[in-house]
Amino acid sequence: MLYEKVASTITSQIEQGIYHPGDRIPGVRKLAKQFSVSVSTILEAHQLLEDQGKIEARPRSGYYVRTRLWQPPEQPAMSNPDATPTLVSGQALALELVKATNNPGIVPLGAAVPSTVFLPTAAVNRAIASAARQYGDRASIYEFPPGNEQLRRQIAKRLADAGCQVSPDEIVITSGCQEALALCLRAVAQPGDIIALESPTFYGLLQVIESLGMKALEIPTHPVNGISIEALELAIEQWDIRACTLVPNFSNPLGYCMSDENKKRLVALLSKHDITLIEDDVYGDLGFQQDRPIVAKAYDSANRNMLCSSFSKSLAPGPRVGWIVPGCYQEKVEYLKYVTNLATATVSQLAIADFLKRGGYDRYLRQVCSRYERQVEMFIRAVDKYFPSGTRVSQPQGGFVIWVECPEQVDAMQLYKQAMLKNISIAPGPIFSASQKYTNFIRINCAVVWDDRTDRALLTLGKLASVCLRE
């Protein structure tokens, strides 16, 4: 968006000291001439900068750099989950969150699904139509495992940027990352086996573990540094852990990015104890910094770890295209994929392969990552403004969700129910835990159009949370 570029330039000027706190920025018409844009574009940029707390309007005087720069709220502390393997239950609520996403009458702050305004929907649709025309009958046949070679070649090229050198033959195409996780767990574990995971964790993973009859062992996790490797080591000494499933790059819901050093330590620890790492990198392309983070799989010299991802969060959820680098489990994963649903939709694979090859994906990522960064900041500011004193909020380094810790008296499940009565969907904390912890936490999806409706929804959530304090 043009106004976002103008706002970004003015932000850089403030950060570089061209404009100091309290300085008046040039008038609207002067800026319109300076940027060669319309007055309405400048006004939109000003509104965005106001929402971000960087400038303020003074009646009959103009716009000024805020004299008191905003400080983000404190982050949640490291989690402290139960140190006992648990059979997962109570995940039925997750389906309600997903359904709310497609209800135009509900503000969809619950499911981590980007609004279509953030996705290159038209370009993806053109790619699908083009693939159907270009490939004819080939687009209608099965692409049996491991999947379309053109797509696997493009994914292999992208993995090189993540520090992972693999050949196209080492990749298996799946129907999204949820299926990829399920195939990985089925390949390495059996019902009753213990799976170690970060806590809080993505509820979709808990649903997979629940469906497979496995047990989840939650490991303390820090909102900046990620899973506690020391706590994981203690758990390994106490329990017979079959696999460890993590999201090291921009975890959902915390948004942290594990350091390269900790990724090395993690892989070395699990390798020492013959435990398979199942790595979910679905948000890996959505970092706020320029450099794409390395995946933990890059340090897997024994080739026993598994790497999963998809294009559902970063490009388009509808085509349902994901993938796995299964390492030494390749043959088993290919067979499981085949007996589960034969193959992933061929036309989707062909379309995304062409989209990647033509550079459309990289162009899209360059603009959407900065948009998500701004969205996350605006939502954090709104939570800080509207929610009760003492509320803590994660500071994600990528992705588009925030993890909100309300005061202890706030019941997240009650807040969820009250919010739904107001046509607002949120994700209550207990569904991010096998033992239903995080009773005063919620996760908020920030990939929602920022407008008066969204602002009012957050104001309403803050009021509802404040009511909980008085009850």
Topology of domain 121-361, CATH: Aspartate Aminotransferase; domain 2 (3.40.640)
Check residue 69 and give its pLDDT. 63
Indicate if the pLDDT at residue 386 is higher than 70.
yes
The domain locations on the chain are 2-65, 89-118+366-470, 121-361
Check residue 170 and give its pLDDT. 98
Per-residue pLDDT tens over the stretch 77-119: 999 998 899 888 766 677 777 777 778 899 999 999 999 999 9
For 89-118+366-470, CATH gives: 3.90.1150.10
Per-residue pLDDT tens over the stretch 240-275: 999 999 999 999 999 999 999 999 999 999 999 999
Reference 438, options 220, 139, 156; nearest CA is: 220
Reference 106, options 463, 460, 466, 467; nearest CA is: 460
Per-residue pLDDT tens over the stretch 339-382: 999 999 999 999 999 999 999 899 999 889 989 998 999 999 99
For the chain, give the mean pLDDT. Answer: 92
Beta strands 194-199 and 215-222, pairing class: parallel
Indicate if the pLDDT at residue 281 is higher than 70.
yes
Average pLDDT over residues 317-341: 96
308 contact partners, CB below 8 Å, separation of at least 6? 174, 177, 180, 181, 184, 278, 279, 280, 281, 282, 322, 323, 324
How is 271-314 classified by DSSP, letter by letter? HHTT-EEEEE-TTTT-BSSSSPPPPGGGG-TTS--EEEEESTTT
Indicate if the pLDDT at residue 130 is higher than 80.
yes
Check residue 230 and give its pLDDT. 97
Name the phi and psi angles at 301, rounded to 5.
-70, -25
Half-sphere exposure of 217 (CA within 13 A, CB side): 21
Question: Which overall architecture, per CATH, does domain 2-65 show?
Answer: Orthogonal Bundle (1.10)
Per-residue pLDDT tens over the stretch 44-62: 889 888 877 788 888 778 8
Q: Would you call 333 helix, strand, or coil by DSSP?
A: helix
Per-residue pLDDT tens over the stretch 407-457: 999 999 999 999 999 999 999 999 999 989 999 999 999 999 999 999 999
Reference 437, options 94, 75, 86, 73; nearest CA is: 86
- For 444, left (φ over 0), alpha (ψ -120 to 50), or beta? beta
